[in-house]
């Protein structure tokens, strides 16, 4: 129980002739909230897909809860996936199901509970994600972008995962909704004791809720630490990245 | 992590529910029946694990209703206590809702009939709006979308040639074979050519080709325009000051209108070739005899009756497909529903039109 929740060692992958990762190392401890940043095309999303087992690296080791992801059989992987929740970038809600059924789907599929009880649990999750009960019977297409993200978060939390992956949780949200969503994620992570691994471009998220930031560059981890520690690293991309935000204390929003 | 089942027992004397083990969705699903009375005390000393699903089930096992005050929580570990209180705060939303009533056969039939009526009305409205756009477009030939028209023509016509040829060839084979086996009994072998020509040119080719185009291109048009609607491309076209009817609908209607008669003609040839092949094998009618008889009985009228139906079928297929595409609402399911509806409506339209034509031609002695 004390080992790292995510452990990535010497991972290399080449996709379409491009070497995306060249011996990448990182680990995330239980209860941490870690953000992954990096320029476009540095393989953030690829890394996320590798960790949740949707892509297989050509070399290296990836372990979740001490179990190797690339070497798992499909049954082992499914058991492992029940311990993770994933929030996809655009929510990836099932458009043919109601909001409530979207959240209840993991419960329908993975538990023996009666469907009526699954739906009650789904509404509990929706309420925790800050959605009004009236929204439960609507279809995803009837919701605003911010509400869809909340539904997707509720679905990611449906099976009470220990580890939550978020791909650009605040992209496409206005600054007010984005901050509210940040606060919600932090609140849920603290109260449910979650480990959170998020990919983001949102500087405000980094400054406000994240414990540690990992920077990807040229297929490797360039640095890892708090924002203040990263600012000391002499790298042109990182300097430009942090310069994109007005100095702390001023209320300006970078997105 | 040792998985121990969630357990709970009710202590009558204290009115206490004593819970132990791992409380999560799966483990708590197999609880034994508990007395149906609210617990005054909830004892969680031996709970080893508790997540939100488990906490909700624990509260349900204690027959706690949202809005009431919580039972006395005894000997819980701090993190379990926090979890229980968190879930209790959010439980008001998680009450059981009644299932929506299911519609009966009568209601569904009524709704279906209404929907059909609405489709006819919608099509009339669509034709009206399209006519206005066409009238405007007549004055401004520069706005015709020739490139889009070319692309559509290639998709609807060129792409369909192999399947139209193959299908009609086989239908010609089957039809000539059946006709031949009957005609043989009366020694009327050569009249198979007459029957084949009449059937292929007047009925089989136009109807079958129209059905193929409705399934192939009609469905494609609805799916494409519907997806464009979802990705807001239609809105973008409107915002750029263009009319979706001019940019998307008119080129498609024209393409289908031109492609369908051409395909029917190709189908005519394929059907005759199929029949010719089989009459030679089955009835010993040589290709030369077949062609000779063909030249005698083939008149322009028979050919034109078949080709003349094609544009009418084409207009309906294209209009229905475009209208259904534009009326897609904003989710993926709607694209599927509308595509299905396009094919069904087109088939109904083809059959009804064909029946009208048949009666009309008989009355007009054609």
Pick from B77, B72, B100, B93: nearest CA to B16: B72
Least CB–CB distance from A127: residue in B26, B54, B90: B90
pLDDT surpassing 60 at residue A251: no
Q: Say if residue B58 is in the same domain as residue B177.
A: no
Q: ipTM of this complex > 0.85? A: no
CA distance B215 to B203: 18
Angle at alpha carbon of residue A180, lines to A178 and A181, rounded to 5°: 65
Q: How confident is the model at residue B324 (pLDDT cuts 50, 70, 90)?
A: very high
Q: With an 8 Å Cβ cutoff, are A124 and B52 in contact? A: yes
Pick from B38, B89, B78, B46: nearest CA to B62: B38
pLDDT at A253: 47
- Residues 6 or more apart whose Cβ sits within 8 Å of residue B105: none
pLDDT surpassing 70 at residue B45: yes
Least CB–CB distance from B25: residue in A111, A127, A140: A111
Q: Say if residue B219 is in the same domain as residue B329.
A: yes
In a domain, B228, yes or no: yes
Average of per-residue pLDDT across A89-118: 82
pLDDT at B26: 74
Q: How confident is the model at residue A252 (pLDDT cuts 50, 70, 90)?
A: very low
Looking at beta carbons, which residues of chain A come within 8 Å of B96? 116, 120
pTM given for the model:
0.65
Q: What percent of chain B shows pLDDT beyond 70?
A: 96
Residue A241: count other Cβ atoms within 10 Å of its Cβ. 20
Strand-pair category, A33-38 with A195-199: parallel
CA of A96 vs chain B CAs: smallest distance (Å):
5
Nearest CA in chain B to A157: B52
Domain boundary among B77, B92, B107: B92
Strand partners, A18: A15
CA distance B296 to B193: 10
pLDDT surpassing 70 at residue A246: no
Q: How confident is the model at residue B273 (pLDDT cuts 50, 70, 90)?
A: very high
Average of per-residue pLDDT across A78-96: 82
Q: Say if residue B221 is in the same domain as residue B306.
A: yes
Q: Say if residue B162 is in the same domain as residue B298.
A: yes
**Which of A187-196, B13-22, B101-110, B270-279 has the highest mean predicted lDDT (pLDDT)?**
B270-279
pLDDT at A254: 43
CA distance A1 to B134: 72
Window A:1-20, CB contacts with B under 8 Å = 1
The region of weakest confidence among B78-87, B191-200, B277-286 is B78-87
Least CB–CB distance from A141: residue in B30, B90, B331: B331
pLDDT at A255: 42
pLDDT at A179: 84
Q: What is the 8-class DSSP label of residue A130?
A: T
- Residues 6 or more apart whose Cβ sits within 8 Å of residue B264: B205, B206, B209, B210, B306, B307, B310
Q: Say if residue B86 is in the same domain as residue B154.
A: no
Pick from B54, B52, B67: nearest CA to B24: B54
What rounded mean pLDDT belongs to chain B? 86
Average of per-residue pLDDT across B18-31: 76
A124 touching B, CB under 8 A?
A: yes
Range of the domain at B26: 7-92
Strand-pair category, A59-64 with A220-225: unpaired
CA distance B90 to A92: 25
CB pairs below 8 Å between A and B: how many? 73
- Residues 6 or more apart whose Cβ sits within 8 Å of residue B102: none
In a domain, B101, yes or no: no
Least CB–CB distance from B331: residue in A120, A124, A139: A139
Least CB–CB distance from A95: residue in B25, B79, B331: B331
Average of per-residue pLDDT across A105-134: 82
In a domain, B108, yes or no: no
A112 touching B, CB under 8 A?
A: yes
CA distance B314 to A254: 54
pLDDT at A215: 87
Residue A26: count other Cβ atoms within 10 Å of its Cβ. 20
In a domain, B135, yes or no: no
Q: Say if residue B176 is in the same domain as residue B71.
A: no
pLDDT surpassing 70 at residue B77: yes
Q: How confident is the model at residue B96 (pLDDT cuts 50, 70, 90)?
A: low
CA of A224 vs chain B CAs: smallest distance (Å):
30
Strand-pair category, A67-68 with A59-64: antiparallel
Q: With an 8 Å Cβ cutoff, are B94 and A140 in contact? A: no
Q: Say if residue B31 is in the same domain as residue B180.
A: no
Strand partners, A165: A86, A197
Q: Count of domains in chain B?
A: 2
What rounded mean pLDDT belongs to chain A? 82
H or E element, residue B234: helix B233-239
In a domain, B256, yes or no: yes
Q: Say if residue B31 is in the same domain as residue B156.
A: no
End-to-end CA distance of chain B: give it in Å, rounded: 85
CA distance B69 to B66: 8
Angle at alpha carbon of residue B255, lines to B252 and B261, rounded to 5°: 135
CA distance B310 to B209: 9
A105 touching B, CB under 8 A?
A: no
Q: Say if residue B169 is in the same domain as residue B243.
A: yes
Domain boundary among B65, B92, B119: B92
pLDDT surpassing 70 at residue B345: yes
pLDDT surpassing 90 at residue B314: yes
Looking at beta carbons, which residues of chain B come within 8 Å of A95? 331-333
Burial per residue of B68-102, b for 16 or more beta-carbon CB atoms within 10 angstroms, e otherwise: eeebebeebeeebebbbebbbebbebbeeeeeeee
Looking at beta carbons, which residues of chain A come within 8 Å of B97? 119
Radius of gyration over every alpha carbon of chain A, rounded to an integer in angstroms: 18
Looking at beta carbons, which residues of chain A come within 8 Å of B82? 191
Pick from A153, A124, A86, A98: nearest CA to B53: A124
H or E element, residue B39: none
Least CB–CB distance from A127: residue in B24, B94, B330: B94
Average of per-residue pLDDT across B110-129: 89
Q: How confident is the model at residue A247 (pLDDT cuts 50, 70, 90)?
A: low
Interface test with chain B among A122, A139, A160, by most B beta carbons within 10 Å: A160
The region of weakest confidence among A171-185, B109-123, B305-319 is A171-185
pLDDT at B98: 67
B53 touching A, CB under 8 A?
A: yes
Q: Are A139 and A116 in contact (CB under 8 A)?
A: no
Pick from A240, A104, A226, A174: nearest CA to B97: A104
C-alpha to C-alpha distances, A213 to A202, A209, B1, B314, B318, nearest whole angstrom:
12, 11, 30, 61, 55
In a domain, B116, yes or no: no
Q: Say if residue B279 is in the same domain as residue B354.
A: yes
- Residues 6 or more apart whose Cβ sits within 8 Å of residue B151: none
Angle at alpha carbon of residue B305, lines to B299 and B306, rounded to 5°: 105
pLDDT at B209: 95
Q: How confident is the model at residue B356 (pLDDT cuts 50, 70, 90)?
A: very high
Higher pLDDT, B219 or B100: B219
B56 touching A, CB under 8 A?
A: yes
Which two tokens mark B304?
A: 């034109």
In a domain, B138, yes or no: no
Least CB–CB distance from B94: residue in A107, A110, A120: A120
Least CB–CB distance from A111: residue in B29, B91, B97: B29
In a domain, B69, yes or no: yes
Looking at beta carbons, which residues of chain A come within 8 Å of B30? 112
Domain boundary among B75, B92, B109: B92
Q: With an 8 Å Cβ cutoff, are A95 and B96 in contact? A: no
CA distance B23 to B38: 19
Pick from B26, B54, B82, B5: nearest CA to A193: B82
pLDDT surpassing 80 at residue B260: yes
Span B132-185, pLDDT tens digits: 888 888 888 777 788 888 999 999 999 899 999 999 999 999 999 999 888 888
Q: How confident is the model at residue A100 (pLDDT cuts 50, 70, 90)?
A: confident
Q: Say if residue B279 is in the same domain as residue B172.
A: yes
Higher pLDDT, B49 or B308: B308
Q: How confident is the model at residue A248 (pLDDT cuts 50, 70, 90)?
A: low
Q: Say if residue B25 is in the same domain as residue B153.
A: no
Angle at alpha carbon of residue B66, lines to A163 and A133, rounded to 5°: 65
pLDDT at B238: 85
Interface test with chain A among B24, B52, B61, by most A beta carbons within 10 Å: B52
pLDDT surpassing 80 at residue B32: no
H or E element, residue B144: none
Q: With an 8 Å Cβ cutoff, are A107 and B97 in contact? A: no
A125 touching B, CB under 8 A?
A: yes
CA of B80 vs chain A CAs: smallest distance (Å):
10
Span A199-215, pLDDT tens digits: 888 888 888 888 888 88
Q: With an 8 Å Cβ cutoff, are B94 and A96 in contact? A: no
pLDDT at A242: 80
């Amino acid at each position: 129980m004390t080992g790292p929740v995510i452990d990535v060692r010497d991972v290399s992958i080449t996709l379409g002739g491009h070497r995306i990762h060249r011996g990448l190392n990182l680990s995330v401890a239980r209860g941490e909230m870690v953000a992954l940043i990096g320029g476009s095309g540095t393989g953030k999303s690829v890394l996320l897909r590798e960790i949740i087992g949707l892509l297989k690296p050509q070399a290296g080791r990836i372990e979740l809860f001490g179990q190797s992801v690339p070497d798992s059989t499909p049954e082992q992987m499914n058991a492992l996936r029940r311990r993770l929740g994933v929030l996809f970038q655009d929510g990836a809600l099932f458009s043919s199901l109601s909001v409530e059924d979207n959240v209840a789907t993991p419960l329908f599929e993975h538990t023996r509970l009666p469907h009526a009880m699954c739906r009650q649990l789904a509404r509990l999750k929706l309420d925790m994600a800050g959605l009004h009960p009236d929204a439960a019977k609507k279809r995803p297409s009837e919701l605003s972008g911010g509400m869809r993200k909340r539904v997707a978060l509720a679905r990611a939390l449906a099976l009470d995962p220990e580890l939550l992956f978020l791909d650009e949780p605040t992209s496409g949200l206005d600054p007010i909704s984005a901050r509210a969503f940040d606060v919600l994620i932090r609140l849920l992570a603290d109260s449910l004791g979650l480990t959170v691994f998020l990919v983001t471009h949102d500087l405000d998220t980094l400054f406000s809720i994240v414990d540690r930031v990992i920077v990807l560059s040229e297929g490797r981890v360039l640095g890892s630490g708090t924002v203040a520690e990263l600012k000391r690293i002499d790298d042109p991309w990182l300097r430009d990245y942090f310069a994109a935000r007005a100095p702390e204390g001023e209320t300006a929003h970078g997105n | 992590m040792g998985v121990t089942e969630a357990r709970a027992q009710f202590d009558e004397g204290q009115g206490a529910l004593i819970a132990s083990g791992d409380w999560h969705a799966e483990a708590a699903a197999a609880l034994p029946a508990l007395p149906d009375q609210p617990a005054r005390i909830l004892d969680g000393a031996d709970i080893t694990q508790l997540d939100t699903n488990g906490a909700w089930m624990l509260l349900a096992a204690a027959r706690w209703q949202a809005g009431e005050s919580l039972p006395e929580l005894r000997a819980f570990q701090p993190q379990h206590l926090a979890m229980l209180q968190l879930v209790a705060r959010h439980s008001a939303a998680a009450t059981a809702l009644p299932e929506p009533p299911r519609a009966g056969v009568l209601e569904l039939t009524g709704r279906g009939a209404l929907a059909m009526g609405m489709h006819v009305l919608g099509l009339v409205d669509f034709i009206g709006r399209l006519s206005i756009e066409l009238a405007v477009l007549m004055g401004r030939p520069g706005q015709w979308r020739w490139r889009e028209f070319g692309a559509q023509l290639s998709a609807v016509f060129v792409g369909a040639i192999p399947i139209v040829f193959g299908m009609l060839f086989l239908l010609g084979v089957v039809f000539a074979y059946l006709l031949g086996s009957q005609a043989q009994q009366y020694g009327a072998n050569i009249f198979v050519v007459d029957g084949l020509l009449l059937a292929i040119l007047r009925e089989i080719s136009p109807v079958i080709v129209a059905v193929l185009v409705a399934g192939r291109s009609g469905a494609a048009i609805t799916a494409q325009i519907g997806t464009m609607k979802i990705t807001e491309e239609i809105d973008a076209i409107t915002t750029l000051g263009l009319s979706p009817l001019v940019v998307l609908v008119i080129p498609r209607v024209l393409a289908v209108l031109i492609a369908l008669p051409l395909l029917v003609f190709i189908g005519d040839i394929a059907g005759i070739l199929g029949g010719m092949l089989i009459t030679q094998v089955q009835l010993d009618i040589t290709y030369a005899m077949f062609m000779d008889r063909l030249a005698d009985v083939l008149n322009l009228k028979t050919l034109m009756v078949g080709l003349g139906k094609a544009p009418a079928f084409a207009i309906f297929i294209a209009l229905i497909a475009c209208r259904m595409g534009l009326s897609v609402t904003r989710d993926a399911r709607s694209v599927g529903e509308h595509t299905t509806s396009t094919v069904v409506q087109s088939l109904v339209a083809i059959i009804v039109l064909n029946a009208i034509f048949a009666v009309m031609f008989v009355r007009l002695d054609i």
